[in-house]
Every structure is written in structure tokens, then in C-alpha cells.
Chain A
Amino acid sequence: MAAAETAGTGRVFVILVVVFSLCESLFSGGDSYKRELTVTLYPNSTPSGGELLHVKAVGGNDTLHFLFCSQGAPTLLMVHTNSSSSTVKVNWTEFLARNTSGSLTVEPQSSVLYSTAVVFSRLLEYDDENDTAEAKSNFFPAYELKDFIWTQMNLSDSTATLCGSPPRSGKGSLCLQLSVFGSEGRVDLCPRLLHSANSSQLEVWINGLPPRSNTSRFMLELEGVGGAYPLSMNRVDVRKFIDDEYAPSIFQVSLWVSSPNNDSDILGFVQWKPVAYRKSHPSLEDATPCRNSDPQQQNGNSTSASSALIKAFYSDPVAMGMNVSFGIAGEPYYNSTMFLSWTMLMGVGSPPVDSISPMVIGILTAGLGIPIVLLLGGGAFILIAKKRESSGYEPIN
């Protein structure tokens, strides 16, 4: 009981961050639901990483807890409770020991509606000498992300950045950036995913990792972990959309949802655009398509073993693994820029749906409306003129 709420040896920084962000889109039609964010960081006593970040997003009558941890494989856990006063309790010593589950709990337990987690387990590299991007053979030894050496979390505004480098060589890095939002909006950087107050964005990028061949491509392995309602075991849905304004040349959105019976209400989702970028400030020509494999069931125990957060929260996790491979046949290889970034959105409820921007609607209305008006007006004018001609005038000759 002693010091159960506070870290055992370290200090607890309580940073109160209240985010008031105005709606970035001109029309606030859509989700104008706002949440207040509170950020808590549990640092580790050892100099390297292993911190636990807790962001509490409090809405009107519910709370979203986002927990981001780099102990072992980097993990993002999301818990949705139906009370605005729920809290997270961490038994830090047990958490660090990684022996038992239940060291991290959300109180009151009965208020937990839904929880899901994404574990980034491995980074795979394969030699694509024939430029087919098939990703079936020629695999180099995989990078186990649980063995990476993670730095301390860098907190700024409403984002937390975490970087790690490979254990032996130490060259290059894989970074993750978590952004939690209090309201609807869009981040400025491609692919400019639309987020709502019910979602958080996680950007993953590889920078400078030395490739093991001139024709190698990368693949990221994710595991979706759930308790009662895990992410879909069968498929990742693809939704097509006509508007590519915010991510030029990308007309699809990939959705990995968890719904209790297929096609009923969506409880939670992982959403992304099937594109990766080869530069840190990308534009259209730096985009490279990415493909994902179908989800496959994994061994829940090995997932628990690789991630402290999963071990602490879930007693009997169900894990579904999925690979995201970057690049297709004909695209430049990784060594052209030595950089790859990919963004995903994780949230509760229905995923946000893109809509056509007001500018496009305005241009269309003006562009089509004016000729129609002209047509009708001119047609009426001509009819009247013809009527006037046909009535009355008789030629003299």
C-alpha cells in the first residue's frame, strides 16, 4: 500500500496541460467534442528509457486513458471508461519487475468499457533484388524492438517523442511520436490524417538505419492486443474516398476495427493511409505506397513477455499480428533517402471520416452554378425575343 500511487524511487512529474485547440477546419460540422488533457510521466530510475507516459483525456461523461511505454517493445495502450473521474494506478516496482499482471489498473475497474493496445514488435528487412516487393523471402535477421536502447521521452506541446537505436551497432534510429488531441483537427504534416477528440496519432519513422543491401526494403510488425474485444482477426478494411486533398494521390484509408459482431457498432479502431514518406518534410514525390498483410493470431504470452505494459494490464491477452510493408515494385529502395515514416491513428468509437473541403465545394458551386444561371437567363431572354419577333412584324415586301 505504501507509495502505491507514486513511483517507488523516482519522482512523479505532474504536468498539467490543458489544451484548448480551436477547430482547424472552417466548418466545425462534425465532431466538436472536446476533451481536457492531463499528462503524467513516470520516469525510470535507470538512465536509459523505460518511462511510462499517461495521458488522460477527460470528456463530458467519459475518459480516455492513453498509456505509452518503452519498457521492452514500445506499446500504446488505450482504455475507455464511462466515468470522468477514473484514474490509473501503477505499482511501479511490480511493473518494472514484469512478473505479474495487474500492476497497472484503471480504477474503478467496472467503468472500463473498452481497451486495446498496439505493440510494435519487430522491424523486418528483406532484400528485394528483383524489385517485386513480395516480402516472402530473403529476410535479413529482424530487429527486435524490445531489445532496442530507448532514450528518454521528449515531451512538448501535446506530443511525446521516443527514439531508440539498435542494440549492437547503435547506428540509426527508430522513433515514435505520440500526439493526443483534445478536439477535431488535422496535423500539418502529410498524410494529414483527420483526428477527433476520441483518437490519438502515432507516427513511426526510421532514420539513418544502415541497410544491409542496396536493394532492401523494410516491413514493420505490429501486434494488436485486446481483452474482451480484440481488433479484427480476419481482415483490414479498405475504404475508398474521392478526396485526396490532404494526402495527394492517396484515395484510400485502411481500417483495422474491433466490433463485437462483424458490422455492428465499432468499438475501437486503428486507422492509417496506405502511404509512407521518404523524407521528413514530404511532398507528393516522396510518397511510397505501403501494403499490409492480413491479421494473424499470435501467442499472447510472448507478447506479454516482450512488453511490460501488456504484462501489467492484461492477464490473458489476445494478440493479432500484422505486417506493414513499405514500398511496392518500381518504387525507390530504402537507401535512396535512408528515411521512412508512417502514421497511424488509434481511437474509440467510429473512425473519423474525411469530407471534401469548403474550398472545393465553393469552386464547384460557382463553376457549375454560373453557367446554369446564364443558360436559364439566356434561354428565357431568347424565348422572349423570339416571341416578340414572331408577333407583330410583317415584312413590307
Chain B
Amino acid sequence: MADFEERGSLLGDEDEVPLAGRQEASGPGRPMSAICDPSHLLHRVVVLVFMCFLGFGSYFCYDNPAALQTQVIQDMNLNTAEFMQLYAWYSWPNVVLCFLGGFLIDRVFGIRLGTLIFSLFVCIGQVIFAAGAWANHFWLMEAGRFVFGIGGESLAVAQNTYAVNWFKGKELNLVFGLQLSMARLGSTVNMNIMGWVYSKVAVAVGSSGHTALGISLMIAAGTCVFSLICALVLAFFDKRAERILHKEQGRTGEVIKLTDVKDFSLSLWLIFIICVFYYVAIFPFIGQGQVFFIEKFNFSPAQARAVNSIVYIISAPASPILGFIVDKTGRNIGWVFAAVIATLCAHMMLAFTFWNPWIAMSLLGLSYSLLACALWPMVAFVVPEHQLGTAYGFMQSIQNLGLAVIAILVGIIVDIRGYLVLEVFFCSCICIALMAVVGLYIVDFLKGGGLNRSAAARAKLQKETSTDAERKRQPSMGMQGGSAARLSSMSAFGLRNRYLSRLGAKLPDHCSTHLSTLAHRSVLK
């Protein structure tokens, strides 16, 4: 019976024309134009546009320091270690906030107010950052980045929660893909435009210096204001849809229990190690890459910024494609291994040769996208669903901790020992990740090889366990009639994750589709 209901709702979700049944449920029944009807696809596309631009400002401004590296260092009289503090301060609040984001959205603020508050933090943070540059106070710039960080990552949580609330099933994949692309678009546009903006401002002001820097950053804050407006519009649409469709406010559905940490398996800890040591070789490198390309390869500043942004440009189209491939073929550990090796090759190319860095950076972009698609879903394979929230939160928290600490270390290494030693340091981080991948394969093999199954084998296992579980569940369906309404809103996503988590753990009393979004929120990082 649950099967039929689930099938029915799946069809209903994917259909473009609202079914008669749904229209009755959707309220007063007076005919609305397609674009005003919250359940109609056209209206949801409009909402999607605003949803995508919600995160644009945050990603645009996150990499402002990297795009203006030489200007920031010269105008504020910094060395590389102090410059990298701007990235460290962004990551510090997220060590704690990763755990609190879901809680704040579900219990304290609600999705609409929460999104507004986080957008406001992003906007105010960027304004403080710009003001610090304009007034020539570096401590104010660091404070601005701290405030910006409070809003930035939590805004991504809110963006994902909106997506899950408005879109279901196969649409959700597309929506996540679009959100990712918008994020990457923001980063790319930032890298390539901010230098030009600065030069124009410097001409207008009369000379380059911290005043020109402050004004350029204020202009960048304009994108954050734009995102704030999108947040307001989204809040309006969401409230209106809630009123018309009588649906609940979106929830992240995350449950964080820090005591769950003791239950984490060795495989999961190895996945954490891979995550931390891999990403610290990517983001801090991009953060200070511009000067490296200018000095070693004799690039012009514009060329250096372009090659720095190629990682983001490539990951925008590559992530959905690679995600599709990884989903189809399975064998996640193999893909992670390939991605880590490719990144190691890229860094060694940059360190030991003078080959055109476009090659190495393109390889870096591809491998980074591949790893994101293959690594994060693995968490869902090894962790029971009721602990997924804690697992993802913990993973992001230590990732941010690693980024904060390593960003400072990177700056110090460059100042004292130069870029070759820095690249060797990155190579050694990747090698640690490589060791963790090999360890993960061995541990997983000893446990029965669940992580590296091909997709076909996994599907076969799903079918066997699902028929078993259905037979077991039939008698108890009557008792659980009340929760049938909850179960009936299962999407394909939720189904897959649910059955996959059954491969290892007892099915809990409640299930939530929203936990599937956790995998995709993290892909944005």
C-alpha cells in the first residue's frame, strides 16, 4: 500500500500539469495564472531563479581576496601570512556553525527568517570588510571576514532547504546542479572581474591604495545586497505558497547529536581524513595562487587570475556529468583514488616543471569535481540515517578547522621558504589523503566491500533487501497508518538513501528526505 501511494505521489510531482487531486488540496480552488500558482512549474522556475542567485553574492565575495591578492598585500602592507588570515577568519566560525545551522533553521528562526538573517550577515560582513580596507585598518577587515563567514556557510544550508522544499524527485538533482553552477559562476566572475574593477576605481580615485581597495570591495558588496533582495523575495514567495498550498515551512530535518561521534566507524574516520587533507590542498592554493602564477610562469595579473579561476569554471559543468557517471558506475573508492592521484599529478606538475599551468589547473578542476561527487555520498553508505546529520556536520566542521589552520600555515611557508616548499607541502597533504584512501579500501574490503560496489551490484542488493523489508513491514502497516502520510512524500532520493542505509543499520522509526540534501550541500564547498 505504501508502494502505491509513493508511486502516485512521484507521478504527481513530475507532472507538469497539476492533477485534479492536487488542485483540490491546494486551496480555495479559484483559477490562478500559471505563473502565480505555487504548485505550477512556471512559478517554481521563477522561484528557482531567485534561489540560485541567493548564494551568488556569498560565493562572489568569498574569493575577493584571491582576486585582488597583489593589491591587498601592497595597499595594506601585508605579508602572505597576514593575507591568508582573511581566509582563516572565514573558516573559524564555521567550525562551530556547521553543527548549529540546521538547528537554527529548524527550531529557532525558521527557513524564511533564517535565510534573511544569514544574508544580512553576509552583506554586513562584506561591508565591514570593505570599510576596513577603506579606513586602512586590517583588524577591521579580519572582523568583516569573520562576520561574513558566519553567514556564508549557513546560507548554503538555507539554500538547500529551500530547494528540497520546493522541488522533489528528479527535479532536485537538476536544482542542485543549477545551484552548484551558480556558485561556481559567482566565483569565476569574481576572479576575472575584480581586477578590472580595481583598476577603474584606482583611475577614478587618482591613485591605487587602500581607498581604491575599499571602494572596489564596496562595489563587490553590491552583489551581497542583490542576494539579500533575493532572500526577501524568496521569503515572500515561500510565505505565499505556504498560505495557498497549506504546506509546512521547510525544514532541514537535521538532527545533530554529538554523542553519535563515538559510533563513527573506522571507514568514516578515514573518509574524514581524506576530506580534510584533500581540501586543504585546493582552497588555500587558489587563495594565494595569483602571485605564484605571476612569479613562476611570468603571467600577467589578468592571465594569472584567469588560470586561477579555471578550477571553478571546469567544476560547474563537470560536477553534474561526473556525478551522473559516479552514480551509474558505483565503485566510489576507485573514483576517489583516481581523483586524489590526479590532484597529486597536478601539484607535482606545478611544483617541478614549467609546463603551461593551464594543463595542471584543468586537471585540478576535474579531479576536484570528481572527488566531490564520489566522496560525500560515501558518508551516506557508512552511516545510519539518523546519524547522517551529525556525520556531515562533523565532516564540514573539521574541514573548516583544517582550512583555517592550513591557510595561515600556507602564508607562513610562502614567506619563509617560497613556492616550491609550499607545493611540496601540498603534495604531502595529498599523499596523506592517498594513504587514507588505500586504508579505506583495505578496511572496507575486510568488512565486506560495501563502499566499492558497482552500481549494478548495489541495485541488486537493494531489490533483495527491499522485498525482504516490504514483507516484514506489511503486517505493521496498519499500526503505522499515521506515519503513512509522512512516508508517502518520499522522493526517489529518499528511497535510495533509505535503502542504502539499510545495508548496514536498523531502520529507525522516522525517515526524512531532507537528509539527502546534506550530500549536496557539501558539494558546493
Residues of A within 8 A of B (CB): 240, 242-251, 283-285, 330, 332, 356, 359-360, 363-364, 366-368, 370-371, 374-375, 378, 381-382, 385
> Chain B residues with Cβ under 8 A from A284's Cβ?
79-80, 414-415, 418
Q: Is the CB of B420 within 8 A of A285?
A: no
Mostly, the B contact residues are helix
Report if B196 contacts A (CB, 8 A).
no
* Minimum distance in angstroms from A274 CB to a CB of chain B: 11
Q: Is the CB of B431 within 8 A of A375?
A: no
A240-B354, A248-B419 known; A285-B424 Cβ under 8 A = no
Q: Is the CB of B420 within 8 A of A245?
A: yes
Which residue of B has the minimal Cβ distance to A289?
Answer: B295
Contact pick for B442, options A242, A247, A250, A382, CB 8 Å? A382
0/1 interface trace, chain B 429-461, chain A, CB 8 Å (1 if under): 001001100110110011000000000000000
* Minimum distance in angstroms from B24 CB to a CB of chain A: 52
A243-B420, A248-B415, A378-B442 known; A285-B73 Cβ under 8 A = yes
Q: Is the CB of B427 within 8 A of A364?
A: yes
A242-B353, A371-B434 known; A385-B73 Cβ under 8 A = no
Which residue of A has the minimal Cβ distance to B415?
Answer: A284
Q: Is the CB of B70 within 8 A of A330?
A: yes
> Chain B residues with Cβ under 8 A from A366's Cβ?
428
Name the residue among A244, A359, A375, A381 with the largest chain B CB count within 10 angstroms.
Answer: A244
Q: Is the CB of A249 within 8 A of B424?
A: no
Which residue of B has the minimal Cβ distance to A252?
Answer: B298
Contact pick for B351, options A242, A250, A370, CB 8 Å? A242
Q: Is the CB of B427 within 8 A of A248?
A: no
Q: B residues 63-104 with Cβ under 8 Å of A?
A: 70, 73-74, 77-80
Which residue of B has the minimal Cβ distance to A381?
Answer: B442
Contact pick for B295, options A246, A250, A364, A381, CB 8 Å? A250
Contact pick for B428, options A240, A242, A283, A367, CB 8 Å? A367
Q: Is the CB of B419 within 8 A of A249?
A: yes
Contact pick for A248, options B418, B425, B438, CB 8 Å? B418
Report if B352 contacts A (CB, 8 A).
yes
User: With the chains together, A385 CA to B291 CA distance in Å?
Assistant: 50
- Given A367-B428, A378-B439, 20 more pairs with CB closer than 8 A: A242-B352, A245-B418, A248-B414, A248-B416, A248-B417, A284-B80, A285-B73, A330-B301, A360-B421, A360-B424, A363-B424, A366-B428, A367-B431, A368-B431, A370-B435, A374-B438, A378-B441, A382-B441, A382-B445, A385-B445
Report if B328 contacts A (CB, 8 A).
no
> Chain A residues with Cβ under 8 A from B446's Cβ?
385
Which residue of B has the minimal Cβ distance to A242?
Answer: B352
Report if B463 contacts A (CB, 8 A).
no
* Minimum distance in angstroms from A361 CB to a CB of chain B: 9
Query: How many residues does chain B have at the interface if contact means C-beta atoms less than 8 Å apart?
Result: 37
User: With the chains together, A245 CA to B421 CA distance in Å?
Assistant: 7
* Minimum distance in angstroms from B481 CB to a CB of chain A: 37
Q: Is the CB of A283 within 8 A of B421?
A: no
> Chain A residues with Cβ under 8 A from B441's Cβ?
378, 382
> Chain A residues with Cβ under 8 A from B74's Cβ?
332
Which residue of A has the minimal Cβ distance to B442?
Answer: A378
A-B contact pairs, 10 of them (CB 8 A): A242-B353, A245-B418, A248-B419, A250-B295, A251-B296, A284-B80, A364-B427, A374-B439, A382-B445, A385-B446
Which residue of A has the minimal Cβ distance to B435?
Answer: A371
User: With the chains together, A382 CA to B447 CA distance in Å?
Assistant: 12
Contact pick for A378, options B292, B353, B438, CB 8 Å? B438
> Chain B residues with Cβ under 8 A from A249's Cβ?
291-292, 295-296, 414, 418-419
Contact pick for B78, options A242, A285, A381, CB 8 Å? A285
Q: Is the CB of B431 within 8 A of A370?
A: yes
Which residue of B has the minimal Cβ distance to A284?
Answer: B415
Which residue of A has the minimal Cβ distance to B74?
Answer: A332
* Minimum distance in angstroms from B70 CB to a CB of chain A: 7
* Minimum distance in angstroms from A67 CB to a CB of chain B: 35
Q: Is the CB of B435 within 8 A of A374?
A: yes
* Minimum distance in angstroms from A91 CB to a CB of chain B: 50
User: With the chains together, A385 CA to B357 CA distance in Å?
Assistant: 43
Name the 8 nearest CB pairs between A and B, nearest first. A248-B418, A244-B418, A367-B428, A367-B431, A249-B295, A371-B434, A285-B79, A378-B442
0/1 interface trace, chain B 270-302, chain A, CB 8 Å (1 if under): 000000000000000000000110011000010
> Chain A residues with Cβ under 8 A from B353's Cβ?
242
* Minimum distance in angstroms from A331 CB to a CB of chain B: 8
Q: Is the CB of A375 within 8 A of B291?
A: no
User: With the chains together, A20 CA to B442 CA distance in Å?
Assistant: 56
User: With the chains together, A367 CA to B429 CA distance in Å?
Assistant: 8
Q: Is the CB of A356 within 8 A of B420?
A: yes
Contact pick for A242, options B291, B354, B434, B445, CB 8 Å? B354
Which residue of A has the minimal Cβ distance to B350?
Answer: A242
User: With the chains together, A385 CA to B425 CA distance in Å?
Assistant: 35
> Chain B residues with Cβ under 8 A from A248's Cβ?
414-419
Which residue of A has the minimal Cβ distance to B351?
Answer: A242
Q: Is the CB of B351 within 8 A of A283?
A: no
Which residue of A has the minimal Cβ distance to B445?
Answer: A382
* Minimum distance in angstroms from A313 CB to a CB of chain B: 40
Which residue of B has the minimal Cβ distance to A357?
Answer: B421
Name the residue among A249, A359, A381 with the largest chain B CB count within 10 angstroms.
Answer: A249
User: With the chains together, A356 CA to B419 CA distance in Å?
Assistant: 13
Which residue of A has the minimal Cβ distance to B429?
Answer: A367
User: With the chains together, A318 CA to B326 CA distance in Å?
Assistant: 70
> Chain B residues with Cβ under 8 A from A240's Cβ?
354
Contact pick for A371, options B78, B438, B442, CB 8 Å? B438
* Minimum distance in angstroms from B380 CB to a CB of chain A: 25
